[in-house]
């Protein structure tokens, strides 16, 4: 059984002006997502600026999220690291806090071999009982999990169940699903490819777009699974301008700006991320207005 089906939000971590985590606003964002029909919360991922959270903050944000959501929808914690021991530590602690699953990114900077990737992910999986979704995003990590390695992990390691595929390489995803034999739960990691990956057997999306448009992102998936292919496709195509604007600078710079434009008070970014360039902010605001969320 999949950890979740449909639209999971890769949720931002809101900060106060002084850089501290703003738990009051985080709670409001969680309620906004649940009200909008989001099917799962993915906390402390790339969009949540996990790389600039201390370990203590990382785990406190996860703990708060689990308590606030209170079982209404699944909570999946990002616990990946380029250090296997660190990933194991974050994963075991997140399990203690009651998350429903883990999202573990490929080790960045180290650029492990496929053999190293298998050993890394197996070591994490062996340390917990939770289901694990791999995260393949070579544009950010410099490391690509090959389809054969993903299938091997999902076949040989009981609690590794799927992958968030953000390579952008549709041919690679097609090959993955041709080898998967139903053993790999596929989630789109690119908001402009949700519909495409659903047609290949995907279970849903782990989405940046959902931060600002939870209902519409959910509806792309819900309509698809209900057999309304045209309705699903139409929302996907209508969202392309907004998807482009949300990634015209490195994530999560644009999506935090978008939330602030919606008066959701996501706050500033942590260095080395900086505020959005004015020309790109204008482009984002226009896309949000055209999509009907401003």
Catalytic residue among 25, 68, 164, 257: 164
Per-residue model confidence (pLDDT) at position 173: 98
Compute the distance between CA of residue 195 and CA of residue 227 in angstroms, rounded to an integer: 12
Per-residue model confidence (pLDDT) at position 185: 98
CATH number corresponding to 6-229:
3.20.20.70
Domain-wise residue ranges, the chain:
6-229
Query: Coil, strand, or helix at residue 19?
Result: coil
Q: Mean of the per-residue pLDDT values for the chain? A: 98
89 given a catalytic annotation: no
DSSP 15: B
Catalytic residue among 135, 223, 256, 283: 135
With residue 280 as reference, give the H or E element that holds it. helix 278-291
Partners of 36 in the beta sheet? none
What residue has token string 């099917």? 39
Dihedral of CA atoms 264, 265, 269, 270 in degrees, nearest 10, equals: -130
Compute the distance between CA of residue 139 and CA of residue 169 in angstroms, rounded to an integer: 11
Pairing of strands 185-188, 204-207: parallel
Angle of the 253-261 helix axis to the 278-291 helix axis, nearest 10? 60
Question: Which stretches of the chain score pLDDT less than 70?
Answer: none
63 given a catalytic annotation: no
Compute the distance between CA of residue 148 and CA of residue 79 in angstroms, rounded to an integer: 23
Compute the distance between CA of residue 11 and CA of residue 119 in angstroms, rounded to an integer: 29
Cβ atoms of 160 and 134 within 8 Å: the answer is yes
Per-residue model confidence (pLDDT) at position 1: 76
Geometric angle at alpha carbon 214, from 54 and 207, rounded to 5°: 50
Cβ atoms of 189 and 165 within 8 Å: the answer is yes
């Amino acid at each position: 059984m999949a950890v979740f089906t449909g639209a999971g939000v890769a949720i931002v971590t809101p900060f106060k002006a002084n850089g501290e985590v703003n738990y009051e606003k985080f709670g409001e964002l969680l309620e906004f997502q649940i009200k909008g029909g989001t099917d799962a919360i993915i906390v402390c991922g790339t969009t949540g600026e996990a790389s600039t959270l201390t370990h203590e903050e990382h785990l406190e944000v996860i703990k708060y999220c689990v308590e606030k959501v209170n079982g209404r929808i699944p909570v999946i914690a990002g616990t990946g690291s380029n250090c296997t021991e660190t990933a194991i530590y974050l994963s075991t602690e997140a399990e203690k806090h009651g998350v429903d699953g883990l999202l573990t990114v490929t080790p960045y900077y180290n650029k492990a071999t496929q053999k190293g990737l298998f050993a890394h992910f197996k070591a994490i999986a062996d340390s917990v009982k939770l289901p694990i979704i791999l995260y393949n995003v070579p544009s950010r990590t410099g490391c690509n999990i090959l389809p054969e390695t993903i299938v091997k992990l999902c076949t040989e390691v009981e609690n590794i169940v799927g992958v968030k595929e953000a390579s952008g390489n549709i041919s690679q995803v097609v090959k993955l699903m041709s080898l998967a034999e139903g053993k790999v739960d596929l989630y789109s990691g690119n908001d402009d490819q949700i519909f495409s990956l659903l047609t290949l057997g995907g279970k849903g999306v782990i989405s940046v777009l959902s931060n600002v448009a939870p209902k519409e992102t959910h509806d792309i998936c819900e309509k698809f699974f209900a057999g309304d292919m045209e309705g699903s496709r139409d929302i996907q195509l209508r969202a392309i301008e907004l998807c482009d604007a949300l990634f015209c600078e490195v994530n999560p710079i644009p999506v935090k700006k978008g939330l602030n434009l919606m008066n959701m008070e996501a706050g500033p970014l942590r260095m080395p991320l900086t505020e959005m360039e004015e020309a790109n902010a204008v482009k984002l605001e226009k896309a949000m207005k055209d999509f009907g969320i401003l």
